[in-house]
Chain A
Amino acid sequence: MSNVPFRSDQLVEELVQFNQNLSKGVKNLIDAEEISEGVTPREEVYAEDKLKLYRYQPSTGVVQNKIPMLIVYALVNRPYMADIQENRSTIKGLLDGGQDVYLIDWGYPDQADKYLTLDDYINGYIDRCVDVIRERHGVDKINILGICQGGVFSLCYTTLHQDKVKNLVTMVTPVDCKTPDNMLSHWVQQMDIDALVDAMGNLPGEMLNWTFLNLKPFQLMGQKYVSMVDIISDEKNVKNFMRMEKWIFDSPDQAGEAFRQFIKDFYQQNKLVEGGLKIGNREVDLKKLKIPVLNIFAEQDHLVPPASSKILPKLIGSKDYTELSFPGGHIGIYVSGKAQSTVTPAISDWLGKRSK
């Protein structure tokens, strides 16, 4: 072994620097203003139960896509990840690319919502939001962009309602939920989901937080905060850090019945791949999905491994399939500078060619 080339006085210097950065940063933390949930102006156009459908203010001076787009976000975490800050906003990028963007905000389910099923979410809420948008724009079909679990919902919805969807974009969407590198899936295989939902009613957001943070506990609960000290002397960095921090811990509870079916059918029985998936009383056969699909995944995604998404073309019946691989992680695909310059323009470009 070579000798470690640092000395006692060097070590002290490092600690002094760390301490000074921390003291400056703590002031910035105290002075940090309240963090908003999303930055792009929007209006509520429809509400039902705890769901809200928002339309974002279209960008001026760009050629508008006449086919509106609905973003279907996951039930886990909150959708403002896609609009986290002005220069890091997937939604703003889509607006600037000429998309007319709508987004479903699922809200925070409570115990009164525990009997909501996947059928209620997919053939109910999503379908009614799609109808509202079709009606507002006088179009038969709209574009859908599904994010993560919202991508799974979008795949199911589109397969069952192709008469209402022109193009489908899926982002970091788990399709094969039993790839060997899927830690989340590995953890739930011996879990008695019925016992969990029967005992808890809804799945608490805290439990989801615990799960997500413990996929990489040393980085997410340790190193991140040590590294933060390097940047918190800058007010802007503090605000950006706090935005992410707020989002990470902002986990709604999951409606019990929907959670039960989601974990059992997708993560334990892998029915999107193995077949036999039913939403309500309708079978979801991905082979029947014939519309254009753009499938985007992140190469370093620790929540949805790329292999989980990349299987999609083998399962669907569409002949117009495009794949976009992003060199980053599950969150970076929305918030990184690279994503703003590559992912959102690529989506608008792809949709532009198929929305005539």
Chain B
Amino acid sequence: MNDKNSWSDQWFKAQQQFVDAWSDMAKSAGNTGNTSHADLWSQGMDLWRQSMGRQQQPDVELAMRKCMDMGKEYFAMAEQISKSLADGKQPIQAIDQWMEQMKQSLQQFGGMPGFDSANVNDFMRQWFDPTRSWQQMVAGMSPMNTSSFNMGEAIDPLGKILSSPGIGYFREPQEKQQKGIQLALDYQQANYKFNQAFLRVAIESIQAFQQRLTKLDAESMPKSLRQLYDLWIEVSEHCYAEFAMSEEYQALYGDMVNRLMILKKHYAEIVDDILRALNLPNTREVDTMQARLQQLRRENIELRREIGEIKAMLKRPSTKPVAPPAPADAAPAEQAPVKKAAAKKATAKKAAPKKKASKPNSTAGA
């Protein structure tokens, strides 16, 4: 703990000096109208992150990274507005100019194959968090780098080759590989359409934001950068929600997920074939064993339960006081049908209370 504090104290002091220096520069820049030091903040943030290394818990590191990322995007917004202000524009014109720039920067990506949101203006990158995080997630579960097949709407030059029949002794593996590439292209197309729809809605959101500002009276107008940011979040979230609840989104998202799963399953089958050829256990075999094992466990549990009930039934007469002999014409008590619930109740009452529960039907270790 001491070491950690000592390290963080030193780090903190160093960063504090940086912050103070940056703050002084920013203030003087603000007074002179030169606001390019917002860039410096952004660079400073990157340096901070690098200087921190991996000293903290993973959860903390993740939170810190997100905080820094958002700080960077927040500053990008300030930077763009302040540049326009420095040009002598009124705040509302500065905001308008900022939004027009964002719109233009997004429009250039329309229809572009291999659209990468990393190239989007810092601030508008938030709009592509869903698609970017999707890509990151998929990268961890895809059998191959599907982005290498990202061709947008370009005519598929491989189409005819991929649909040609396999020949010769290795016809089947060859066809499977061809099909795999075709499935990767299919997924990439679906992913491309999903991203392009996001791009369109992001541009529409800028227009919605401009319209929203137009409708505000003096009282409701944002009075600080934070208020402007919060308003932008509100409008963007609203535009996104409308899109996310549309039939279009449902179809695009469903198609993208479905194609990814078909692709993944196909490659799993190819890997299974290879493992079988090497006389190694493959997924199909493990699945069969797991399914059988699970069924055996269910039957085992059921048998244990039945044994428990039978034991309870057998014990029951001995816990009761000896009954007087029954009349000769009456049926013996133990031959009367015993209800399942009653038997369980007897077991429960006998066992209670206990410090540690017994495991009447436990499958632990089964």
Where the two chains meet, the residues of A that have a C-beta atom closer than 8 Å to any C-beta of B are 1-16, 18-20, 22-23, 25-27, 29-32, 34-35, 45-49, 53, 111-112, 114-116, 120, 124, 128, 131-132, 134-140, 163, 183, 186-192, 195-196, 198-200, 204, 206-207, 210, 213-219, 221-223, 225-226, 228-229, 232, 241-242, 245-246, 249
Interface locus among B67-75, B102-110, B156-164, B323-331: B67-75
Contact pick for A242, options B60, B229, B290, B357, CB 8 Å:
B60
For the complex, give the distance between the alpha carbons of A222 and B124 in Å: 11
Contacts of B249 in A (CB 8 A): 186-187
Contacts of B129 in A (CB 8 A): 217, 221-222
Contact pick for B48, options A7, A16, A26, CB 8 Å:
A26
Contact pick for A15, options B26, B245, B264, B361, CB 8 Å:
B26
Contact pick for B92, options A1, A35, A48, A111, CB 8 Å:
A1
B33 part of interface (Cβ distance < 8 Å): yes
Name the distance in Å between A248's Cβ and chain B's nearest Cβ.
10
Q: Quick one: closest A residue to B235, CB to CB? A: A218
Q: Quick one: closest B residue to A192, CB to CB? A: B258
Counting contact residues on chain B (CB < 8 A from A), the size range is: 35 or more
B185 part of interface (Cβ distance < 8 Å): no
Q: Are B30 and A12 in contact (CB under 8 A)?
A: yes
Contacts of A3 in B (CB 8 A): 90-92, 218, 221
For the complex, give the distance between the alpha carbons of A210 and B140 in Å: 13
Contacts of B353 in A (CB 8 A): 136-138
Q: Are A199 and B19 in contact (CB under 8 A)?
A: no
Q: Are A20 and B241 in contact (CB under 8 A)?
A: no
Contacts of A221 in B (CB 8 A): 66, 126, 129, 133
Q: Are A245 and B62 in contact (CB under 8 A)?
A: yes
Chosen A-B contacts, 28 in total, with CB atoms closer than 8 Å, are A2-B217, A8-B33, A11-B30, A15-B78, A19-B22, A19-B23, A29-B63, A30-B12, A35-B57, A47-B364, A48-B359, A49-B364, A111-B290, A131-B344, A135-B354, A136-B354, A183-B244, A189-B250, A190-B254, A199-B261, A199-B264, A204-B137, A210-B134, A219-B233, A222-B126, A225-B63, A225-B71, A246-B59
Q: Are A138 and B214 in contact (CB under 8 A)?
A: no
Contacts of B291 in A (CB 8 A): 115
Q: Are A5 and B223 in contact (CB under 8 A)?
A: yes
B311 part of interface (Cβ distance < 8 Å): no
Interface locus among B81-89, B112-120, B147-155: B81-89
**Sample of 10 more A-B contacts, CB < 8 Å, known A6-B223, A27-B8, A189-B254:** A3-B218, A4-B91, A8-B82, A11-B225, A25-B67, A32-B57, A120-B298, A138-B351, A138-B352, A199-B264
Contacts of A48 in B (CB 8 A): 359, 362-364
Name the distance in Å between B78's Cβ and chain A's nearest Cβ.
5
Name the distance in Å between A305's Cβ and chain B's nearest Cβ.
12
For the complex, give the distance between the alpha carbons of A218 and B277 in Å: 49
Q: A30-B11, A223-B230 are in contact. Are A187 and B253 (CB under 8 A)?
A: yes
For the complex, give the distance between the alpha carbons of A216 and B238 in Å: 9
For the complex, give the distance between the alpha carbons of A58 and B345 in Å: 25
B192 part of interface (Cβ distance < 8 Å): no
Where the two chains meet, the residues of B that have a C-beta atom closer than 8 Å to any C-beta of A are 4-5, 8, 11-12, 15-16, 18-19, 22-23, 26-27, 29-31, 33, 35, 38, 41, 48, 52, 55-57, 59-60, 62-64, 66-67, 69-71, 73-75, 78, 81-82, 85-86, 90-92, 95, 126, 129-130, 133-134, 137, 140-141, 213-214, 216-218, 221-226, 228-230, 233, 236-237, 240-241, 244-245, 249-251, 253-255, 257-258, 261-262, 264-265, 268, 290-291, 294, 298, 301, 341, 344-345, 347-349, 351-354, 356-364
Name the distance in Å between B311's Cβ and chain A's nearest Cβ.
14
Contacts of B63 in A (CB 8 A): 29, 225, 228, 241-242, 245
Q: A4-B92, A183-B245 are in contact. Are A12 and B27 (CB under 8 A)?
A: yes
Contacts of B26 in A (CB 8 A): 12, 15-16, 19
Q: Are A128 and B64 in contact (CB under 8 A)?
A: no
Q: Quick one: closest A residue to B227, CB to CB? A: A6
For the complex, give the distance between the alpha carbons of A112 and B294 in Å: 9
Q: Are B52 and A30 in contact (CB under 8 A)?
A: yes
Q: A30-B8, A210-B133 are in contact. Are A190 and B27 (CB under 8 A)?
A: no
Contact pick for A11, options B18, B64, B85, B268, CB 8 Å:
B85
Q: Are A140 and B345 in contact (CB under 8 A)?
A: yes
For the complex, give the distance between the alpha carbons of A192 and B257 in Å: 8
Q: A19-B19, A200-B264, A229-B67 are in contact. Are A6 and B78 (CB under 8 A)?
A: no
For the complex, give the distance between the alpha carbons of A18 and B41 in Å: 11
Name the distance in Å between A274's Cβ and chain B's nearest Cβ.
20
Q: Are B254 and A32 in contact (CB under 8 A)?
A: no
User: Among the interface residues A1, A9, A190, A218, which one has the most CB atoms of the partner chain B within 10 A?
Assistant: A218
Q: Are A112 and B290 in contact (CB under 8 A)?
A: yes
Q: Are B91 and A7 in contact (CB under 8 A)?
A: yes
Contact pick for B222, options A6, A204, A242, CB 8 Å:
A6
Name the distance in Å between A291's Cβ and chain B's nearest Cβ.
16
Q: Are A8 and B56 in contact (CB under 8 A)?
A: no
Q: Are B71 and A217 in contact (CB under 8 A)?
A: no
For the complex, give the distance between the alpha carbons of A222 and B133 in Å: 13
Q: Are A134 and B348 in contact (CB under 8 A)?
A: yes
